[in-house]
Amino acid sequence: MDLRELCAKLPCRQVRGSGPPLPYVNGDVVTIYEGESFAVTGTPKGDELADLRFAAPDEKGPVIKLTFEIHEGHSFLMLSNGFDRMVKYSAQMVVGDDPRPQATSTCPIIPLGGAFERWAQPLKVIFLARFHFLNPAGGFVCD
């Protein structure tokens, strides 16, 4: 399926004013660019956050709000968790002129709270995937 077909079915946005529109969420991958702020949601199925999707501003039920900003050359990803369970995810980032995504560590997002990630360089884009719930008895581990 090409991007036009995909964007006919999923919420998309124009990035940097050129090229085709790109989806916020495609499968279980959320893509966020500098300056964006939006929310995603899904359906809890056991420890998995299934059916991940873009959340409209009037979404009923819990959402995860994401905001990606760059200040003084540092990248910041702020996350707000509307679920009553601890959420964990994996992330990759694109740095500089290298188009290949690089894995990065992430920390859990506390229930009904927030978290933020910081990198010492400006990032082009961040890909978030594998959103799932953690058992609080397992502790708070960033990896």
Instruction: Tell me the mean pLDDT per 10 residues along the chain, length 143.
Output: 83 80 93 96 96 94 97 96 96 90 94 94 95 84 84
DSSP for residue 7: H
Q: Residue 137: what are its φ and ψ, rounded to 5°?
A: -65, -20
Measured from the Cβ of residue 100, the count of other Cβ atoms closer than 10 Å reads 7
pLDDT value at position 17? Answer: 64
Provide the token pair at 142: 């960033």
**Is the CB of residue 99 less than 8 Å from the CB of residue 92?**
no
Contact (Cβ atoms closer than 8 angstroms) between residue 132 and residue 47 = yes
The whole-number pLDDT of residue 18 equals 67
